[in-house]
Structure 1
Amino acid sequence: MASTSDLEFGVMLSATSNDYGIPDEKRPEVFRRTATTIEESGFDVLVAGDHIAYPDEIPSDYEFSKSGEPPFTSETSVYDVFQVLAHLAAITDQIDLGTNVCAAPYRHPITLTKHILTLESLSGGRVDFGVAPGWLETEFDALDVPFDERGSRTDEFLDIFRRVCTEGRLAYDGDHFSFDTVGFYPSPSREIPVWIGGHSGATFRRIAEYGNGWTTLWDSPSDVETARGRIMNAWTDFGRDGKPNIAVLRPVNVGGDGDRILTGPADKVIEDLESYAEAGADRIIIDFFTTDVETQLEQIRLFGDDVIPSF
């Protein structure tokens, strides 16, 4: 089946922060095997999520599981996303390495900016930066960051980061963060893509004010089409040229049974991807319905062999 869509494809490395039942001494090998398989299979980007410390108290209304229970507890090994991506930068050559998404308020803007610029340098210009305000209130409490300030703190970080990438040295005086002139080096040699996560009106405003595009998860093609209209309204309000990018993260099961989207024979998965492209998406990040590593690797290979060549 031929396609005229220009889609990029990525893979979510959720083993960095979800409970996979893998001994800690074996998990780095899983990261490396997954990264090399992603690159060998023709994907464009590998992304991972961002948490720092899981508290005992975690809400049981996690919207992306049927039970409402999140795929982690306070005993789950959670790896620093920037160290993992830097580790994988050393064993890959072509794929971009991204956060999907980094919770901006978890770190001081100077620290977070240093992480991004360091990874950009170590990877040879392959950083793909997804950012959002965050959602786990008890984790904010553990980090001593006011949860109700997460939106405004994200805005200040994005303002600082945008200026850093063009100015190199700057002072800042904001509602949450103030500092005298400091240098931010190594400096990037290109514009680092910034993807904004979320669904609120503030999210769509941030995309237009600071970002290159929107990143979301589990949205249907119709959801994407609706959101794209709202994003374009903000994009126009801010006088932006071109168009925003849209990335959607969804589980995939090539060859699987069932009536779920992105599940079934390769031709059916390709048709579903076409629906996303028609709705305005230009990147699909695949996740999985299983935490079995070997099954995930097989899905990556199947997707690379039977789906990506059609795009």
Structure 2
Amino acid sequence: MQFWSGTAFMKTSEILALARMFDEAGYDGIVCSDHMIYPRELSSPYPDSPTGKPMWAPETAWPDCWVQIGAMAAVTTRLRFSNAVYIAPARPLLEVAKQVATAAALSDGRVSLAAGVGWMREEYELMGQDFATRGRRLDEMIPALRALWRGGWVSWSGQHYQVPEMMIEPHPEAPVPILCGGESDAALRRAARLCDGWVGYAYAWDDAVRHIERLNGFRREYGRENEPFDVMLALLEPPSAELYKRAEDIGITAVMCSPWAGTDLATGGVERYREPIERFAETIIDKVRA
């Protein structure tokens, strides 16, 4: 079982110090969340919200994922980095290919790409990308990225993307794992058919089991049930070594955790996170790995 944490809603200037703490305490990775902007006129409904509005304030900071990952990689030695999730089809194909490949090269291969289609039409429109075709374009982007990351002269010819023969360097020394986010049938099918894993959200135990059963059904349908496959999600249950061992038994390979959950961190500098990070490692992670 791998243990990852996120940095969403944290103070941007504290993220690098937090990454060092996670690295030193033996955690496996950090996921970065992605939003470009918060428009004053937001018409796109936020999923699963009774009001249709996001739960965060417009001034909430969302640091660029790949700038953040590059900076965290520079101050750590073993921690891995991914997304929960990166809205890849809101960007041009070559931009995504270049950013992820550079991060992979600078981190000595400690990155994966976890992509999703997102929900905010305004972000797509501001980036000049078509919102209506985002799912079909992500389906094509995944194999296109693998082709562009091979090194040497590379090209891609598809329905949505055309890349003439070219070199794009640096290229990853090893294949970059690609995971997919989202709970819809389309998203789970995308993960099962095209990806190396799936990234979910935060679930009660029964809901987590239900989503994994759906995912496994699609993997069987595509003949991939025996291939290595990562499943990363958060569990809305009291943390314990027993919980995470049960999670491992049903195919969850990584959990996203908040070691400071329930702790009053309203005041103090970044060092206020150290004690709960180390306590969770000692009382939970070490027992799971024993």
Could you say which TM-score interval applies, normalised by the shorter chain? 0.7 to 0.9
Q: What residue identity is the alignment partner of 2:118?
A: G
Query: What residue is the counterpart of 1:122 in the other structure?
Result: 106
Q: CA separation of 1:11/1:228 partners in 2, compared to 1, >3 Å: closer, same or farther? A: same
Q: CA separation of 1:249/1:64 partners in 2, compared to 1, >3 Å: closer, same or farther? A: farther
Question: 1:124: Cα distance to partner?
Answer: 0.9
Question: 1:33: Cα distance to partner?
Answer: 1.2
Question: Is 1:305 the equivalent of 2:282?
Answer: yes
Whether contact under 8 Å (2:91, 2:129) holds in the other structure is no
Q: CA separation of 1:186/1:309 partners in 2, compared to 1, >3 Å: closer, same or farther? A: same
Larger strand fraction of residues:
1
Aligned-partner Cα distance in 2 for 1:136–1:295: 34
Q: TM-score, normalised by structure 2?
A: 0.86
Aligned residues between the structures:
280
Q: TM-score, normalised by structure 1?
A: 0.81
Aligned-partner Cα distance in 2 for 1:297–1:100: 23
Note the 1:24-173 alignment, pairs <5 A: 27-28=12-13, 30-58=14-42, 61=46, 63=48, 69-73=54-58, 75-166=59-150, 168-173=152-157
Query: What residue is the counterpart of 1:12 in the other structure?
Result: 6
Whether contact under 8 Å (1:48, 1:100) holds in the other structure is yes
Question: 1:229: Cα distance to partner?
Answer: 2.5
- The alignment partner of 1:148 has SS state of coil
Q: What residue identity is the alignment partner of 2:195?
A: G
Q: CA separation of 1:174/1:67 partners in 2, compared to 1, >3 Å: closer, same or farther? A: closer
Q: What residue identity is the alignment partner of 1:190?
A: A
- The alignment partner of 1:299 has SS state of helix
Aligned-partner Cα distance in 1 for 2:51–2:5: 22
Q: CA separation of 1:155/1:81 partners in 2, compared to 1, >3 Å: closer, same or farther? A: same
Question: Is 1:281 the equivalent of 2:252?
Answer: yes
Aligned-partner Cα distance in 1 for 2:180–2:187: 7
- The alignment partner of 1:57 has SS state of coil
- The alignment partner of 2:163 has SS state of strand
Note the 1:141-220 alignment, pairs <5 A: 141-166=125-150, 168-220=152-204
- The alignment partner of 1:247 has SS state of strand
Query: What residue is the counterpart of 1:262 in the other structure?
Result: 238
What are the Cα deviations for residues 136-168 of structure 1, in whole angstroms up to 9, with x where unaligned? 222223323222211012112112012223465
Structure 2, unmatched stretches of 5+, are none
Aligned-partner Cα distance in 2 for 1:176–1:227: 30
Aligned-partner Cα distance in 2 for 1:80–1:174: 28
RMSD: 2.6
Question: 1:303: Cα distance to partner?
Answer: 1.0
Q: CA separation of 1:227/1:305 partners in 2, compared to 1, >3 Å: closer, same or farther? A: same
Moved more, 135-144 or 94-103: 135-144
Aligned-partner Cα distance in 1 for 2:107–2:282: 26
Whether contact under 8 Å (1:50, 1:102) holds in the other structure is yes
Whether contact under 8 Å (2:157, 2:163) holds in the other structure is yes
